[in-house]
Amino acid sequence: MRRSRAASLAAIATVATLVLAACGGGGGGDDGDASEGGIYQDCAASPNTCNAVPAAQLQQGGTLTFAIEKNIANWNINSSEGNVFEPAMAIKTLLPWTFTTTPDLKQVLNENVFASAEQTSTSPQTIVYQIKPEAVWNDGTPITAADFDFQWKTMNGTDCPDCAAAQNAGYNQIESLTGSEDGKTVTLVFGTPYADWKNLFASGTPLYPAHVGAQQGDLNTPEGLKAAWDWFGATTPTYSGGPYQVDNWQDNVALTLTPNPQWYGATKPSLQQLVMRVITEASQEPIALQNDEVQVIYPQPQVDLVQQVQNIPGVSQYQGLGLTWEHLDLNLQNEYLADEPLRDAIFAATDVQSIIDSTVGQFNERSRRSRATCSCRASRATRTTCRPSRAAVTSSAPARSSPRPATPTSPRASS
């Protein structure tokens, strides 16, 4: 199973995984790596700015169709069931978040929503977020501390014990969360220090609208929180606090997004439509790309798929490092796997390097040079075996993406 970020409940993986991206004008590297070519040839050296032009020079209008490999079965990407890479990639175009990771793997503040986010004290650890006054949901309701509070209570494992969150880490260490200045200032105080605070309320676990959740139940009770939590998972969003909003959803077919007219960010969406088309069979993605049924594919890299993409005229592809991972989980409820020596034996017999060599190592030299590091915590319930895992391929015209590729207003490459 592929998670959208390091949010496993029982295991943490420190991973540099593989990403593959492509756009007009194919070609591979000259070292036999075939890791980048065409308009992506500078991405290894300049991952944040390659294939980029100033936002003002972007062509306005048009439709970009982006293939996703899984159907959207759950719209709550903060839940253990909904926290899957492909649905999260689509839904995060609608939601506000604090920090994200840029292509060079650095965390940066979402300046569309926040004026600042700073640690103001270490004893106790205190974090203060300043939400921009203009930041609102698409019904005009301000984005405030109430949205933070809803997320904290549904993800800390205490206020809503039946809310199956994708992660509790960090949220369960917050001692208090208070809002001031009409909710536009949010102050977190930790009971115990949490070094990874920038990953809280971040793009991997974005904010949902508390005022919409409150329509499902009393958010001051576990029952009301659970009702809202489940509703967000089961209901196609009409809300948006991001650059796009849902125009149409056809189950197991496609999600159509259009610009949010209430979007307050400095850079407005350039596309008239962004379509996330569900293609669950990876072998069909290069075919759809070649037929111009989609302009972007983002599959797990496989030897045959990479070779297919390289042979499509007018397509460039790039393989780089990312933050998704493959993992092997063991269920301690199984009477045999409850035996720790057996679990140790299973993982001792798991040859991670062999897995890499027989998969992405066949076409990417960097994956052979950098083996992922995995670690386990809690009662060794789960251990993660890691291998480079992500691929993105886009076709057609070059140099049509924003100079800030982490901003959700435009994809890395578009048509």
What are the C-alpha distances in Å from 217 to residues 19, 143, 205, 222, 225?
A: 41, 19, 22, 9, 7
Q: Domain-by-domain residue ranges, the chain?
A: 11-69+279-395, 107-234
Distance CA 211, CA 203 (A): 20
pLDDT at 153: 98
pLDDT recorded at residue 370:
52
- CA–CA separation, 35 and 370 (whole Å): 15
Residue 332 has a pLDDT of 83
pLDDT in tens, 105-145: 899 999 999 999 999 999 999 999 999 999 999 999 999 99
pLDDT of residue 321: 67
Output the pLDDT for position 26: 35
Query: Which residue positions in the chain have pLDDT lower than 50?
Result: 1, 3-19, 21-35, 372-415
Report pLDDT for 52: 83
What is the topology classification, in CATH, of domain 107-234?
A: Dipeptide-binding Protein; domain 1 (3.90.76)
| pLDDT attached to residue 36 | 56
Structure tokens that stand for 146 in this block: 């109430």
Confidence (pLDDT) at 37: 59
Strands (E), 69-105: 99-101
Predicted confidence at residue 323, as pLDDT, reads: 73
Task: Provide the β-strand partners of residue 375.
Answer: 12
